[in-house]
Structure 1
Amino acid sequence: MELTWHGHSTWYVAVDGTSLLIDPFFDNPHTSLDVSDVPTPDYVLLTHGHADHIADASAFTDATVVGTPELTGWVADKRGADDTIGMNLGGTVECGDAYVTMHRADHTNGIGTDYEYGAGMPAGYVIGDTQPTREDDEDAFAFYHAGDTGLMSEMRDVIGTFLEPDAAALPVGDHFTMGPAQAAIAADWLDVDHVFPMHYDTFPPIEIDVDRVEREVAATGADAEVHVLDGDESYVFDRPYADG
């Protein structure tokens, strides 16, 4: 699995022969790419309807758009998406070579400047290369994109315990989401091996010292390795899954 961070919460994920773009928003200071430079993915995954997560969804209407039924319906009606998959919390859908499980995020939701459209529940995604199972599968690998969220006990009680992601992209910018201290607790609860900070330094309210994330993770006693990526930088997990 290959993960590429394009700033804010925008990730390009490759699972074998399938590409997935999460929360496309290329008007941010961490990417040098114009949206027209981005290869069209097979799937676009949207966590919620805020503008800094769906701003560039209309540039990828040839892809299959995945999200809550309310959000995918809006993208189809207002942004011209031809192919959508509306799913809901707890569900898993097969997206090419990837298995995508939607889980809740603790945040607000709505579309438009005045949030005149509801977009259902905000969400995060666990993306795996095998179907989720309670049976032992040592070769399986899963990446958790937490979306915009605060710390929530489901990270410990459900996502970490039963969905068992190996790596997690966690918002750390504070103000609108978790900050470094709560993200470190999330990393501990999730019991992941790898943490990728996101949703920080995009605009003034979420400017932070990102080095705090590693210090806070160490302070929790978590075993996770923190990877602070540059914009448009990739990280590759190869089988057997080790550091990229």
Structure 2
Amino acid sequence: MQITWYGHSTFGVDVDGESLLIDPFFDNPKTDTDPEELDPDYVLITHGHADHIGDVDRFRDSHFVATPEIISYLTDEYSIQNGTGMNLGGTFETEEAFVTMVRADHTNGLDTDYGATGGMPAGFVVSDTKPTQVADEETQTFYHAGDTSLQTEMREVIAPYLEPDAAAVPIGDHYTMGPMQAAVATDWLDVEYAIPMHYDTFPAIEQDVADFEREVDATGSVADVVALDGDETLDLADELGY
């Protein structure tokens, strides 16, 4: 599994040659990637805020996965052709991956004249094997937390049952967790790799990643903080040794 950060909360995930793109928003200072260069098989949307769906129109031929409310909105407003609506706790199976939608504590308003919402905001856990209660040591699993505050579901559900190896957690504060709460989330998730996201895009969320690193160390977590540069890739298989 290869995980590429395109800045803000935008990630590409490659699972055995199948490509997934999460929250396409390339109008951020961390990336030089032209979204026209990408051709993802699937696009996963955590919620409907503009800084998470800003470039969905570039990927109309991809298959979208989001809440039913978001799928309806993107179909009406952006003319997407293929979409699957799902909800929290569900798992969507692609040819190579299993995508489980989990809770995020945030808001989910849509840019409409009538104040519509996109249902519950979400995060996604992407795995190369089906989630079961029987642990598979060679499974590769990535958790994209979406825009969220600290929540006990990370400790009580996601960590013990979905067992992510790497997690992308927002550290920007103001709209999401800041470095301290993101560090506690990292500890609760018991991941090996923590990737900071959702920072330095706007003045309100400017952060020094070193603050996050210090907070992770203070929790006693064994996680390595992997502060990716924009457009940089983490090869999870290589890091895990399989």
TM over 0.5, shorter chain? yes
CA contact (8 A) 1:89 1:104 kept: yes
TM-score, normalised to structure 1's length? 0.96
**Pairwise mapping of residues 1-244 of structure 1 onto structure 2 (< 5 A)?**
1-37=1-37, 39-112=38-111, 116-238=115-237, 241-242=240-241
Q: CA–CA distance in 2 between the matches of 1:232 and 1:240?
A: 18
Distance 1:138 1:221, change over 3 A: same
Aligned length: 242
Distance across 1 between alignment mates of 2:166 and 2:5: 14
Q: Give the distance between the partners of 1:136 and 1:159, measured in 2 at CA.
A: 13
Displacement of 1:114: 6.4
Please, what TM-score do these two structures have when normalized by structure 2?
0.97
Runs of 4+ in 1 over 6 A off after TM superposition: none
CA distance in 1, matches of 2:87, 2:173: 26
3-state SS in 2 of match to 1:107? coil
Q: 3-state SS of the aligned residue for 1:186?
A: helix
Q: Could you tell me which amino acid in structure 2 is paired with residue 35 of structure 1?
A: P
**Is the partner of 1:101 in helix, strand or coil?**
strand
Please tell me whether the aligned partners of residues 47 and 121 of structure 2 are also in contact (alpha carbons under 8 angstroms): yes
Are the counterparts in 1 of residues 22 and 43 from structure 2 also a CA contact under 8 Å?
A: yes
Q: Deviations over 1:98-143 (max 9, x none)?
A: 1000001000011117672210100000000000011131111110
Query: Contact 2:105/2:151 (CA < 8 Å) preserved in 1?
Result: yes
Question: In 1, distance between residues paired with 2:182 and 2:110?
Answer: 26
**Contact preservation (8 Å) 1:6, 1:26:** yes
Contact 1:10–1:22 (8 Å) recurs in 2 = yes
**Identical aligned pairs, as a percentage?**
59
C-alpha separation between the residues in 1 aligned to 2:61 and 2:91? 22
Partners of 2:155 and 2:114 lie apart in 1 by 31
CA distance in 1, matches of 2:207, 2:178: 9
Output the CA distance in 2 between the equivalents of 1:113 and 1:94.
Answer: 31
Residues of 2 paired with 1:115 and 1:29: CA distance? Answer: 32
Q: Which amino acid aligns with 1:49?
A: G
User: The residue matched to 1:238 in structure 2 has which SS?
Assistant: helix
1:76-115: CA deviation from partner (whole Å, max 9, x where unpaired): 1111111101010000010220100000100001111767
Structure 1 residues 34 and 136: alpha-carbon distance in aligned structure 2, compared to 1, 3 A threshold: closer
Question: For 1:133, what is the secondary structure of its paired residue?
Answer: coil
1:152 corresponds to which letter in structure 2? Q
Letter paired with 2:184: I
**1:242 to 1:173, Cα distance in 2 relative to 1, 3 A:** farther
Deviations 1:13-57 (Å, cap 9, x if unpaired)?
Answer: 0000210000000000000122223x1100000000000000101
Q: Which moved more, 1:164-173 or 1:107-116?
A: 107-116
Structure 1 residue 171: Cα displacement: 0.2
Cα distance in 1, alignment partners of residues 39 and 178 from structure 2: 32
CA contact 1:139–1:240 (8 Å) conserved in 2: no
CA contact (8 A) 1:139 1:239 kept: no
